[in-house]
Structure 1
Amino acid sequence: MSTSYELNFGNKYNESLPTLGEVMGDVIQFFGGEKVYGVGGDFAANLIAALDTKLNVLPSSNEMHAGFSACAQAEVSGMGFCLTTYMVGSLPCVTAAGLAVTESLPVVFISGAPAESEISNQAIHHTIHPNASWKTQYDNALNAYTALGIKVERLQGDRASSQPNIAGNRFYHLVAHAYKTKQPVFIEVPRDLVFAKTQLLKLPATINDIRWGENVLCGSQLIVESIVSKLRNAKAPMLYLGDKLKHNQVLKKLIIDFAEKFSIPFATSWFAKGIFDEYHPLSLGAYNGIFTQTQGREYIETKVDYVLDVATSIFAQDTNTAFATGTHKIENFTNKTLLKGGSVLERDIIEVFELLIDLDISPFSFQPLNNTQSSVNAAKINTYKNVHEAIDFNNLAQVLNELQQEDQTPYVYLPEVGNSYFCSYGLRVRKSNIGRGWLTNPWYGAMGTALPYARTVTQQIKEQGNKDRAVVIIGDGGFHFQSNELIHFLKDQTDVTIIYMRNNVFHLGKSGDGLIYHCNHSDFDVHNLVKAYQGMSYVCQSILDFKKSFKEALNHKGIQLIEILAKPTEDRQCNELKLLNLYIKANNGNSEAKREWALLTTYHKDNE
C-alpha cells in the first residue's frame, strides 16, 4: 500500500526517508556524542531502542546524576547528552540543567513524552496534575526548564498527510543552538515519533563547516592598535584568563602561543582553574585577591603594570572576585584592556589574537617564578619533614602538590562542594591529556557532582588510553549523598582515587549542633563498602600515612579510597576557608573579626 509521502513525492524519496530515531543518533554523533547518560522509563523506551543501535546509552544511579554526568561530558568533550522519561524523569534533572546554565555547558536534555495521539482531556501517569484541575497539564516540564531561561521544544509529527514531519531538522537545530551558545536545551520527544519517518538531512562535513554566520563585529584592528600602544609602554604585562575559554580550543592555543612568543605571564580566574597548565613557566596560577595562595599573587599585586583581561564573565561574580571583599587587584586595575567577547564562539576575540600574534614588538623579560607556592606556604612545606604531622584540610593541598611535583602523570582533581572545594584552590594543576586538570562546578556550587563528574572523566581517560589519574576530594557528607554512583566505576572498569575527608558533619556553613548537620555515624565502615565494589581502601592520620597510601593507590586499578580522619576545628581548615569565615564574621559585625580583617587587607589598601 502506497504512503501519502510516496504518492506526493515518489517512491525513491519515500524510501530515502530515515526515522526520527536514526536522525537523532546521527546528529548526536555529528556533535561528538558517542554516549548518552540516562535512566530508563516507559515514555523513553522507544528512544532507548533507537539510540542504542548507534550510541552507548549508559545507565546512571538516578536522573540527577545522569544530568551531572552529562554536564561533565560537556566540560571535557564539548557536548553532553542526557536521556530520561517524561516528567518523573526529566524534572529531577532540573538541578543539573541549572548547573549547565550557570557554568555555560552545552548539554542536551532529552525526554520521552506521550504520543501525540495520547494527548487528550485525560491526564496521563507521570504528569504533575491535581485531581481538582479543570484542564489537563502536559507542559510542566517544559515550563520548568523555560523558567531557567533554557530553550525548550516538544518535537511534532506531520501536520499534512503528504508531507513528512520536520522533527529531525528541529532536533538538529536545537542541538546546534546548544553548541554555539554554550547553553543547555530541553527536548521532549513523543514516543510515537521515534520510529516515524522524518525529512532527510544533509549534515555538514564537520562542525567547522556549519554556517553559524560570520563575525559581523568590526574594529579588531583598532582594538589591537590600542593593546599594542599599552604593551609598548608596559614593563610587566600579564594575561588574565577567564572561564569562557574552556570550550574554545582554537582560542586557548592562540593565547598560549601569544604568551610564549612575547614572554607574557598569565593567570586564570578561580572559575578558569584547570584550563591551563599551572606548571607552565609563564603560569602565575589561579588568582582571586586575598584568597590567592600562590607566589603569583605577589607578582600580580606588586609588579604587573598592564592587564589584558580575556573572556572573563560579563557581570562581576562575587566568588570570582574575592567574594566582593575589595581585595581583587585585577578587578579594579586601571591600566587594563577587557576582551569579553560578544560573537558566537568568541570569533571576535580570536580575530584580535590572530592579529596580536603577528605583532612586531620585542619579547618581555619575564623570569619564571621558582616556586608557585607563596613564601608562607613554602615555609610550611619545609615543616612537613615531620611526616608524622596530622593530615587534614589545612595541609592536604600542599602534600598533594609535593606528590604531583614528583610525578609526571597528571592528576585530574574533582573536588566536591564544601571544605574540599576551597581546599582545592591550593592545588597546583598539571596539564591533563583530557584538557582539564581541575573540574568542579565553582559558580553553581551544587553538592552531588564529584562522583558523576569523575565517572565521565575516568571513562574519557580510559577511552583515550591516558595514564592521567582522576582524584576525587570529598567529605563524608557529599560521599554519602552520591555513593550509589560507585557501581558505575565497577561496571566501567575505570580507575579513580577518592580522598574521603571524614569528620562526620556537614562542616561548611555549620551554624549549630542540630541533627541536620550530622551526616555520618562513627560506626559507619567505609572500607567494607569499598570492598563490596571490589575496591581497595586505606586509612590515614599522618602525612606519612597519606603519602604511602596515595602512591600505593596509584599503582592499583579500580576504586581506591583513602580515608582521612579529619577534625572539624578551625586550626584544621585550609587558609582560603579561614579567610572566608573571617570575612563573613566581620560582615556580621564581630568586632574582633573586623579588626583582624582590617589588618589583613591593609596591604591591599596601601598598594592601590
Structure 2
Amino acid sequence: MSDVIRFFGGQYIYGVGGDFAANLIAALSVNEHGEGIQINPSSNEMHAGFSACAQAEVDGMGFCLTTYMVGSLPCTSAAALAVTEGLPVVFISGAPAESEVNQVAIHHTIHPNASWKAEYDNALEAFSALGMRVERLQGQRVEGHPNLAGQRFYQIVSEAYKNKQPVFIEVPRDQVFAKTQPIKLPSTLDDICCGSNILAGTELIVDNILDKLAQAKAPMLYLGDRLKHNEKLKHLIISFADKFNIPYATTWFAKGLFDEYAPLCLGAYNGIFTQTTGREYIEQQVDYVIDIATSIFPQDSNIAFGTGTHKIERFDNKTLLKGGSLLEKDLIAIFERLMEQNISPFEFTAPSQRGLTALSLQLESNELARGDDDIDFNNLAQTLNDLQAQDASTYVYLPEVGNSYFASYSLKVRQSILGRSWLTNPWYGAMGTALPYARVVAQRIKSQQIAERAVVIIGDGGFHFQLNELIHFLKDKSDVTIVYMRNNVFHLGKSGDGAIYHCNDSEFDVHSLVKAYQGDSKTCTSVGEFKAYFKACSQQTGISLIEVPAKPIEARQSNELKLLNLYIKSQNGQAEAVKAWQALTQ
C-alpha cells in the first residue's frame, strides 16, 4: 500500500486514529529507517477528508485514513465534494478482521438492538450511494491460493487517478500484515493507461480548427476546469496561445489555473456576472471560440446561473473539445498537432485596464478602493487586487462558500507554483473547506520554500464551523492570513430573522481566540487600515487574522451577489426587479 501511494505522488495521508485503523497506522507510518508515509493528524474525520480533497487539487491525488464506520462515515461529506469536483481522493478505512464478520454485532456497527442481522457493510453502501467505487479488500480465500489484496488496492487507486473520481477502500485489520502476492508497479504514471490516445479523428479535428482560424480575425480559447489535473495539457494550451497570440479566458470553475496578469489572459468569464476588463472584448470582438475541457453538461452557476447572458454558451462559431479519453490524451494529441502547424500569429491587444465601474452595468458600482473608505465585501476584491499588484509574491486565495466566495470572483490572481492560486468549492459540495484546504496549501508553500501566501477569505459562520483546524497551523508552524468578514449572521440565503441565521454573538472576542493559537490579529474598518495591516501580515509567521466588521446590507455586497439577488427577485416576479434586470440585459 505504501509503494502504491508513493507511486501516485502521495507523500502525506490525512487522518484520525482509531482501533480498527491501528494496524494500518503502524504499517504505513514512517519507521526508524525513514520508510513509510507521513500521516498528518486532523481535528476530525470530515476535516481529514477535506484536507485530502485539497491535496488532490494541489498534488493530483489525495489520501485519507480513518477507522471503521464511526471514522469513515463523517467523511461522506468530503467524499460528496470529491465526487462533485472530480477529485481523485482515496478514502481508506480500517475494518473488522475477516474472522470478526459474523452474526455478532460489535462496536462501531450500525445495529438496532432489535435486529436479527448484524450489518457490516453500511459504510460501503453509504459511499456507494454517492456514485463511488467501493471495495473491502479480501485475504486468502483458500489455503494455497494467492492473496490478491495488494493488486486490488493498486487497481482501485489507479481507477481513481484515471477517472478523476474518489474511491473508498476498507482494509480488514487482520489483513494488514498478511502476506500478499507482490506486484510490479509501472515505470511511470503514463504507463497505467492504455498508452496513447485511442480516439481516432485527430487530423479531421485539427483541419477543422485550421479552417476556422484561417477565417477568423479575433479567435479565443475558452478553458474549463477539467484541465486542473493535467499539467501537460495546460502547458500545451498556453504554449499554443503564446505562439499564435490567441487570448484565452476561463470558466468560473477554472479560475486560478492560469496567471490572470498574463497579457493574453482575459480572466474568468461568466456572462453578466463577469467583472473583468476582458468581458467587453469577449462579447463584442471575438469571432471564433475553441472551447476546451469544459463540463459536458451545462452547469447553471458556470453559465451565468442560466440567465441567458453567457455569450460563449450560445456562440455559433465554436469548436468544442471536451476531452473523451482517459487523462485527456485526445486533447493532448490535438494540441501537439496544432503546435506543428504554420499559423500566422493573430493581432491582439489586451483591453485597457478600466475600473470595474464601466462593467458593473448600472448597478451600484465598485469604485476604486480609497484609503478612507469603509472596508467591506463591496470593495474587498479591489483592495486585495491593489495589494497583489504591488506585491511580487503570489497570494493563493481560499474563499469559503458564502459572500466570500462570490466576492472572490473579482480577484485578479497570479500564477502559483502550486498550480492553483484560487482554490475553493464552487459546487458547494460541502461547507467548511477553507481552513482544511488552507492547511494543505500552507504546508506546500512552506515545504517548497516559495514566495507565496495562503489567504483565507471567510465569514464568521464558516469560521466557527471549522476553526478547530487552527490547532494544526500552530503544530505545523504554517503561515496563513485569514480575512474574517464578521457580520454575525449566515447572510447568503438568509430568508428571515430567526435565531437559526445568527451564527455569532456580538460579545465574541476573536482576538483572544487567535492569541490562544499564538497568532496576531487586528480589527480593520477602513481600506487604508486593511492594506497596512495586510502588508504586515504577509511578513509575519504563524496565524494572522484581519477582522472586518461587515454590514449585511445590499450596498455592501459584491457586484456578483447584487446581480444574483436581482436576478432571483426578477424571477420571483418583483416588478421593480424585473424592470431593472431587463434594463441590464437588453
**TM-score of the superposition, structure 1-length normalised?**
0.94
- Give the equivalent residue in structure 1 for 2:33: none
Counterparts of 2:71 and 2:99, CA distance in 1: 21
- Give the equivalent residue in structure 2 for 1:524: 508
- Give the equivalent residue in structure 1 for 2:523: 539
SS in structure 2 of the partner of residue 329 of structure 1: coil
Displacement, 1:383?
4.7
One-letter amino acid of the structure 2 residue matched with residue 477 of structure 1: G
Q: Aligned runs of 1:73-472 on 2, under 5 Å?
A: 73-371=55-353, 373-376=355-358, 383-384=368-369, 386-472=370-456
- Give the equivalent residue in structure 1 for 2:541: 557
- Give the equivalent residue in structure 2 for 1:592: 576
CA contact under 8 A between 1:420 and 1:473: conserved in structure 2? yes
One-letter amino acid of the structure 2 residue matched with residue 206 of structure 1: T
Cα displacement string for residues 415-473 of structure 1 (whole angstroms, at most 9, x for unaligned residues): 00000000000000000111101000102342200000000000111111111000000
CA contact under 8 A between 2:357 and 2:367: conserved in structure 1? no
Counterpart selection for 2:475 from 458, 468, 491 = 491
Cα displacement string for residues 390-421 of structure 1 (whole angstroms, at most 9, x for unaligned residues): 00000000010000000010000000000000
- Give the equivalent residue in structure 1 for 2:24: 47
Counterparts of 1:573 and 1:356, CA distance in 2: 44
- Give the equivalent residue in structure 2 for 1:605: none
Counterparts of 2:39 and 2:383, CA distance in 1: 39
Counterparts of 2:107 and 2:396, CA distance in 1: 43
- Give the equivalent residue in structure 2 for 1:16: none
Which runs of 4 or more aligned residues in structure 1 lie more than 4 Å from their structure 2 counterparts after TM superposition?
Answer: 377-383
CA contact under 8 A between 2:482 and 2:544: conserved in structure 1? yes
SS in structure 2 of the partner of residue 414 of structure 1: strand
- Give the equivalent residue in structure 1 for 2:12: 35
Counterparts of 1:348 and 1:383, CA distance in 2: 44
Displacement, 1:131?
1.4
CA contact under 8 A between 1:394 and 1:573: conserved in structure 2? yes
Describe the shift of the 1:483–1:51 C-alpha distance in structure 2 as closer, same or farther (beyond 3 A). same
SS in structure 1 of the partner of residue 523 of structure 2: strand
One-letter amino acid of the structure 1 residue matched with residue 11 of structure 2: E
Displacement, 1:212?
3.2
Counterpart selection for 2:557 from 563, 573, 581 = 573
Counterparts of 1:283 and 1:168, CA distance in 2: 45
One-letter amino acid of the structure 1 residue matched with residue 259 of structure 2: D
Counterparts of 1:209 and 1:587, CA distance in 2: 51
Structure 1 vs Structure 2 CA RMSD:
1.3
Describe the shift of the 1:572–1:42 C-alpha distance in structure 2 as closer, same or farther (beyond 3 A). same
Describe the shift of the 1:565–1:487 C-alpha distance in structure 2 as closer, same or farther (beyond 3 A). same
Counterparts of 1:224 and 1:176, CA distance in 2: 31
Displacement, 1:52?
0.5
One-letter amino acid of the structure 2 residue matched with residue 570 of structure 1: E
Cα displacement string for residues 113-160 of structure 1 (whole angstroms, at most 9, x for unaligned residues): 000000111111111111122211110110111111100000000012
Equivalenced residues, count: 578
CA contact under 8 A between 1:390 and 1:543: conserved in structure 2? yes
One-letter amino acid of the structure 1 residue matched with residue 351 of structure 2: L
Displacement, 1:373?
5.0
Describe the shift of the 1:265–1:75 C-alpha distance in structure 2 as closer, same or farther (beyond 3 A). same
Say whether residues 1:63 and 2:40 are aligned partners: no
Larger deviation: 503-512 or 123-132? 123-132
SS in structure 2 of the partner of residue 189 of structure 1: strand
CA contact under 8 A between 2:455 and 2:483: conserved in structure 1? yes
Displacement, 1:372?
7.3
Unaligned ranges ≥5, structure 1:
1-23, 603-608
Cα displacement string for residues 313-366 of structure 1 (whole angstroms, at most 9, x for unaligned residues): 000000000000000000000000000010000000111111111111210000
Counterparts of 1:383 and 1:417, CA distance in 2: 25
Cα displacement string for residues 221-265 of structure 1 (whole angstroms, at most 9, x for unaligned residues): 001111111111000000000000000000000000000000000
One-letter amino acid of the structure 2 residue matched with residue 339 of structure 1: L
Counterparts of 2:246 and 2:343, CA distance in 1: 12
State, as a whole percentage, how many aligned pairs show the same letter: 69
Counterparts of 2:328 and 2:463, CA distance in 1: 37
Counterparts of 1:548 and 1:40, CA distance in 2: 42
Counterparts of 2:198 and 2:395, CA distance in 1: 41
CA contact under 8 A between 2:300 and 2:306: conserved in structure 1? yes
CA contact under 8 A between 1:289 and 1:321: conserved in structure 2? yes
Counterparts of 2:233 and 2:99, CA distance in 1: 48
Say whether residues 1:476 and 2:460 are aligned partners: yes
CA contact under 8 A between 1:155 and 1:188: conserved in structure 2? yes
Counterparts of 2:143 and 2:358, CA distance in 1: 75
CA contact under 8 A between 2:356 and 2:365: conserved in structure 1? no
One-letter amino acid of the structure 1 residue matched with residue 2 of structure 2: G
CA contact under 8 A between 1:293 and 1:373: conserved in structure 2? no
Displacement, 1:206?
2.1
Describe the shift of the 1:246–1:589 C-alpha distance in structure 2 as closer, same or farther (beyond 3 A). same
SS in structure 1 of the partner of residue 117 of structure 2: coil
SS in structure 1 of the partner of residue 484 of structure 2: strand
Unaligned ranges ≥5, structure 2:
31-35
Describe the shift of the 1:382–1:122 C-alpha distance in structure 2 as closer, same or farther (beyond 3 A). closer
Counterparts of 1:60 and 1:193, CA distance in 2: 25
Displacement, 1:380?
6.7
Larger deviation: 446-455 or 197-206? 197-206
CA contact under 8 A between 1:341 and 1:348: conserved in structure 2? yes
CA contact under 8 A between 1:295 and 1:375: conserved in structure 2? no
Counterparts of 2:428 and 2:553, CA distance in 1: 26
Larger deviation: 331-340 or 349-358? 349-358
SS in structure 1 of the partner of residue 246 of structure 2: coil
